[in-house]
Structure 1
Amino acid sequence: MEEFIKSFLWIVLELTLLFVGISFIISLLQGYIPYEKIEKKLSESNKVVASIIAILFAFITPFCSCSTIPVVVNMLKNKIPFSIVMVFLFASPVLDPTILTIMGVVMGWKVTIIYTLITTVFSIVIGFTLDRLGFQKYVKNVIMTGFDSEKKKFNVSHAINETWSLMKSVYPYLIIGAAIGAVIHGLVPTEFIAKWFGHDAWWLIPIAALIGIPLYIRLSSMIPISQILILKGMALGPVMAMMISSAGASLPEIILLKSIFRKQLIIAFIGSVLTMSTISGFVFYII
């Protein structure tokens, strides 16, 4: 029990300092982000340039998979090309700047850079592929209110409020992840994880990708869990596959997507996330 408490408090302290500091800085910087100009640029640029802008837009808007949906609806309403909207949909929940920074500190910058490159490339490829296959016809005519893309005033008070709001929505998942990580660290024998999950069995990767979606473990929760699993001897491939699938396609997000997508596109969305997470797992497996 003492080992669990020590491990839990250390993980919580480390993640709290990183989370609060980085979130505050990003909230300050968001006062400079011209959201309306970005959307206009997305609709006017050629698809290659627009896809890069969509990735950057996904990076500077630290939304979880569920809160991405209103932004997607707003983009569709503003006639932004379907392929670009899909690029944003796949990239936004997996390219959170706060979580990527924490990932770099906790799991190493090499892993974080590879993760960022893989998810970026797959988001673009999947977005263009779904467009090429004609999945745009499976988008429902839905108008959602409540999303405000207007530029917020740049000030410290607003940044504090934004940080507090983000803390309320995301921080509980960091605590849950820290608790699970502490349990794994203190109670699960290293030999058990190394024996069953530490070897180079390729079939562990697709299984981990499948497990990730119904678990609804957010990326913020998966980082402390992944750190402990890797320290315990679990192979990096399955860990990254589970991390990407859990962040990219949560059950609540899929339920929300049913309000704007028909089932054919939802199935394609889930299949695309599984493909992205599985292939990404194999890339880390090879590396």
Structure 2
Amino acid sequence: MRDVFSWFNDQILRMEWLSDLVAAMLTAIGIDPLGRWGGSLHFFAYDVIKILILLGSMIFALSYVQSYFPPERSRAILGGRRGLGALTLAALLGTVTPFCSCSSIPLFIGFVAAGLPLGVTFAFLISSPLVDLASVILLAGIIGWPAALAYVVLGVVLAVAGGALIGAIHMESEVEPFVYAAPVHNGDPGAPLTRRMRLAYAREQLVDIVGRVWPYVLIGVAVGALIHNWIPQALIDGVLGQDKWWAVPLAVVAGVPVYADIFGTLPVAEALVGKGVGTGTVLAFMMAVTALSLPSLILLRRVVRMRLLTLFVAIVTVGIILTGYVFNALIPLLMA
């Protein structure tokens, strides 16, 4: 059974056969895949094809599942629930919605307008871009399943803790008044989707999401190839080495100005892990890009006031930094 799982991880997720095929094609046209330029071409071609294949197939499958949980149904599931159960459920619902932080803002408005508690809404808002099931599956091919599953657990815990703290402080007055007045559309519960309609929805989501993220994938892979083949190991060790206490906070600061889908950060993560950067440091960078990017914070500022935005940023930043340190400390056990 372990051999079957190992084969699936190597040949399906990591697509080692594709790596060998790209290397053979480069060799056939006279390019050394082990050289600096050839290695960069190999990294770029292999990662772009691999990510787009896996991304397309998983977005289609997960979107089909997500068709059972439209915003109206999510609001209905969460409506009337309170306490830790509601926070946890909101965070888990966030993991099955393939939304970036910016596209989660309209859902935030809909949830608040529908009367959901603010803490529950923020638990969803934190979880939705942070813990995407498709990206977790791709991440498992880089850091392994134990570490990837631990990332899911810590991401959900961060979402629940952040939502609980915001809910406990009772900052409803810090939400812009127009949000509470936004119209709520409850959909048509009497018209369930057929299988054909769900397949059509999955195809639409596939085209829409891949159409939006492919530029970030190309940029991310290009940056990954640069890190992998051109940046000296000594420089990486000196700035982001596992013995450097500042590596995790620096990774968070570096991630904030970057606006990219989590899929665009995966090639960068792969290159950094290959250079020996701590897994927790790499995950902190990815989490900062997806949850704390400047464009998403600017959009969030349009619906909440500065006090609430500052609290949100502080909670998520501290949570990401703690997650990074925890992973760097525990990764030898998870990878064992």
TM range (shorter): over 0.9
Contact 1:138–1:264 (8 Å) recurs in 2: yes
**Unpaired runs of at least 5, structure 1:** none
Give 1:199's aligned residue: 242
Contact 1:31–1:153 (8 Å) recurs in 2: no
Amino acid at match of 1:168: G
Instruction: State the Cα RMSD in Å.
Output: 2.0
Q: Which moved more, 1:151-160 or 1:176-185?
A: 151-160
How big is each residue's C-alpha offset from its partner over 1:229-268, in whole Å with a ceiling of 9 and x where there is no partner? 1111212232121111111111111111111100111111
Larger Rg: 2
Q: Does 1:47 align with 2:47?
A: no
Percent identity for Structure 1 against Structure 2: 27
Question: What is the TM-score with the length of structure 1 in the denominator?
Answer: 0.93
**Which contiguous aligned blocks of 4+ residues in structure 1 show a shift greater than 3 angstroms?**
143-154
Contact 1:100–1:112 (8 Å) recurs in 2: yes
TM-superposed CA distance for 1:270, in Å, is 1.3
SS in 1 for 2:257: helix
Q: Write the distance in 2 (CA, Å) between the matches of 1:221 and 1:95.
A: 15
Give 1:131's aligned residue: 167
Higher relative contact order (CA 8 A, sep 6+): 1
Choose the corresponding residue for 1:247, options 285, 290, 293: 290
Contact 1:170–1:220 (8 Å) recurs in 2: yes
Contact 1:73–1:142 (8 Å) recurs in 2: no
Aligned pairs for 1:56-67 within 5 A: 56-67=92-103
Choose the corresponding residue for 1:176, options 189, 195, 219: 219
Give aligned pairs, total: 287
Amino acid at match of 1:184: I
Q: Does 1:105 align with 2:141?
A: yes
Choose the corresponding residue for 1:9, options 18, 29, 45: 45
Question: What is the TM-score with the length of structure 2 in the denominator?
Answer: 0.80
Q: Write the distance in 2 (CA, Å) between the matches of 1:88 and 1:110.
A: 24
Q: Write the distance in 1 (CA, Å) between the matches of 2:328 and 2:205.
A: 38
Aligned pairs for 1:17-36 within 5 A: 17-33=53-69, 35-36=71-72
Amino acid at match of 1:281: G
**Unpaired runs of at least 5, structure 2:** 1-36, 331-336
TM-superposed CA distance for 1:7, in Å, is 1.0
Choose the corresponding residue for 1:114, options 140, 150, 162: 150
Give 1:89's aligned residue: 125
Contact 1:41–1:50 (8 Å) recurs in 2: no
